[in-house]
Amino acid sequence: MSVSAPAKLTLKDYKSDLHNDWCPGCGDFGILTGIQMAIQQMQIDPDKLAVFSGIGCSGKTPHYINAYGFHTLHGRVLTVATGGRLANTDLTVIALGGDGDGYGIGAGYFVGTGRRNVDFTYIVHNNNVYGLTKGQASPTLSKGKKTKSMPEQAIQDGINPVAMAVASGYTFIARAYALEPKYLASIIVKAVEHKGSALVDVLQTCPTYNDLYTKEWYEGADLPEKRSRLYKLEERGYDGKVSDPNDREEIVAKKAAAVARSYEDDPIPIGIYYQAELPTYEDAVMQRIPALGEKPLVEQDVFHRDVQPLLEAMR
């Protein structure tokens, strides 16, 4: 009896049947499409994919993806995603959050995740405002800027997510644009395939509350030369990948180059800023607990183990 090859999963297979209630024209639609395109290109089994999210408009993303979804607490998505990844290393884990969720209340967890170098991808919807709560300035809005929803200009300096990720220890750092879903999908594929902590900061339009960084602004419609305010790093010969992970000088040089590029603002670079293949947190855990290298924690018989030696060691 012949066995037919498994059917190739289509983009439709990764879409849920839940109604999407984001505002019309929101950049979240482009990010959702980019994610679905990426996982379809990789042919990831929906049963082997877990998508975690924080609070905010971006928090709804798992509802619209046919996979395991976890809608967590404000700023805590990375801690929950870390637990999910360590409990079941057979899963592909994608975490999602907004710039307020990830770079504001979740900033401490953002740094801790980079330090650990856990093997999963974190995608941030960066639109410079708290879109779900009426458009207050988020941590990424520059000082002196004022959107239509703000009574006064921002009085604090905006943070630099790419530079913060470099300093925190993320081993894959990229930036993309929500309204270029095909390019975004290509970046997400590389981020998911990377072994280690991957950040994809996505410049995202919020047509309801942010009238500064609009689709027209990114396209440079207001400029005399009508040029895009974005450029792709690889098209200008930039390569942020570390060729020898044991060469500290190369790592430092690549990190310095990534930080320097991250401060360019006209035009803004998108693409991969930095990438290095370094030992992950899972590698360290499995060295300490070899049994986890044989099968994931969720498959371990933890309820019938003799814990007496552990109790004795704690005395």
Q: Is 182 helix (H, G, I), strand (E, B) or coil?
A: helix
Q: Tell me the pLDDT tens digit for each residue of 16-28.
A: 999 999 999 999 9
310: pLDDT strictly greater than 80: no
Q: What is the mean pLDDT of residues 64-90?
A: 94
CA distances from residue 309 to 171, 288, 297 in whole angstroms, order as listed: 37, 16, 20
Which one, of 61, 72, 171, lies nearest residue 119 by Cα?
171
What residue segments make up the domains of the chain, in order of their start?
A: 11-313
H or E, element range at 94: strand 92-98
Q: Tell me the pLDDT tens digit for each residue of 150-204.
A: 889 989 899 999 999 999 999 999 999 999 999 999 999 999 999 999 999 999 9
Is residue 104 within 8 Å of residue 71, measured between CB atoms? no
Is residue 48 within 8 Å of residue 91, measured between CB atoms? yes
- What's the mean per-residue pLDDT of the chain? 92
Q: Tell which CATH classification among 3.40.50.970, 1.10.274.10, 3.10.129.10, 3.30.1370.100 matches the domain 11-313.
A: 3.40.50.970
Is residue 52 within 8 Å of residue 77, measured between CB atoms? yes
Indicate the DSSP class of residue 101.
I
How many whole angstroms separate alpha carbon 225 and alpha carbon 308?
74
